[in-house]
Amino acid sequence: MNQGLTLAISAVINAALAQQSGASGQTLVLPEYHGLGSSISFKSWYDKCLDLFEAFGIRDKKRRVANLKLQFRGTAETEFANYMIKENAVVLSTTQILYDNLSSKFIDPSYPQILRRKLQMLKQTGSLADYISAESNLVGDY
Distances (CA, A) of 10 to 7, 75, 135, 139: 5, 43, 53, 50
For residue 54, is pLDDT > 90?
A: yes
For residue 1, is pLDDT > 90?
A: no
* Residue closest to 96 by CA, chosen among 35, 50, 54: 50
Summarize pLDDT for 128-139 with one digit per residue, the tens.
988 888 887 776
What residue type is 49 in one-letter code? Answer: C
